[in-house]
Amino acid sequence: MAKDSKKKGNGTKIAIIVGIVVIIALLITGIVLLIQRQSGNQEETKRNVVVNQDNAEQAAEELINEPYIAPGHYSTQMSTEWHFATGDAVSEDAYVKNDAGNTNDVFFDVFLEDNESEPILQSPVIPRGSELDNISLDKKLDAGTYDCVMVYHLVDDDQNTISTLRVAFKIIVEK
């Protein structure tokens, strides 16, 4: 009978040890999953958002509530519909201005909304207080109306991008 109680005592000890190991493994798994979820959420919040007329107020409110990260204040002044007589003409109403009150020089790339791998226009750097007008496209477009995305790059003194801003607008080619 002493052997039976010893076996039961050893079995109980083993069961307790196995239970503790399982609980520790579950805790570690839970912690790892929480850390991965939090880092995944942080990456999502860092993504840029295309600003258009429907979400401009919400995007502005979100920007106001974000903590200060680095110099890069930028106030956009641009026409939101660019008209071209032909796909390779100069637009008379397209302009982009970098206000003197902004903190950085800027350049921008223009993409068709459904193809952000190939820019249809790449601007030069626009210093604070300067304006770019008489704009023509780098890639000729056929007649039609195009939904586009302009990606502004705020740059430091060495022309390294420190932040970006995305704005939706239209290009209309008449002929």
Residue 162 has a pLDDT of 87
Tally of CB atoms within 10 A around 91 = 20
- Beta-carbon count within 10 A of 104 CB: 22
pLDDT one-digit tens code per residue, 19-28: 888 788 777 8
Question: Which range among 16-20, 44-48, 114-118 shows the weakest confidence by mean pLDDT?
Answer: 44-48
63 pLDDT above the threshold of 60:
yes
| Confidence grade of residue 40 (pLDDT, cut at 50, 70, 90) | low
148-170 burial, b for 16+ CB within 10 Å, e for fewer?
A: bbbbbbbbeeeeeeebebbbbbe
List the Cα angle 74/80/86 in 5-degree steps: 130
The pLDDT, as a whole number, for residue 73 is 59
117 three-state secondary structure: coil
- How far is it, in rounded angstroms, from Cα 95 to Cα 132? 6
Domain layout of the chain by residue ranges? 1-47, 50-173
Q: Are strands 105-112 and 76-78 parallel, antiparallel or unpaired?
A: unpaired
Q: Could you read off the pLDDT of 134-168 as tens digits, one per residue?
A: 999 999 999 999 999 999 999 888 898 988 889 99
Helix (H) or strand (E) holding 150: strand 144-155
What pLDDT is attached to residue 48? 62
% pLDDT > 70, the chain: 82
Q: CA separation (Å) from 23 to 10, 35, 56?
A: 20, 18, 49
The answer to whether 75 touches 102, Cβ cutoff 8 Å, is yes
Residue that wins the pLDDT comparison between 99 and 72? 99
Q: pTM here?
A: 0.59
Give the pLDDT confidence of 100-143 residue by residue, as tens digits: 878 889 999 999 999 999 999 999 999 988 999 999 999 999 99
Check: CB of residue 148 under 8 Å from CB of residue 170: yes
Asked whether residue 36 carries a pLDDT value surpassing 80, the answer given is no
Domain 50-173, classified CATH 3.40.47.10, yes or no? no
Which pair of structure tokens corresponds to residue 65?
A: 């509530």
When pLDDT is averaged across residues 23-46 and rounded to a whole number, the result is: 67
pLDDT of 42 higher than 60: no
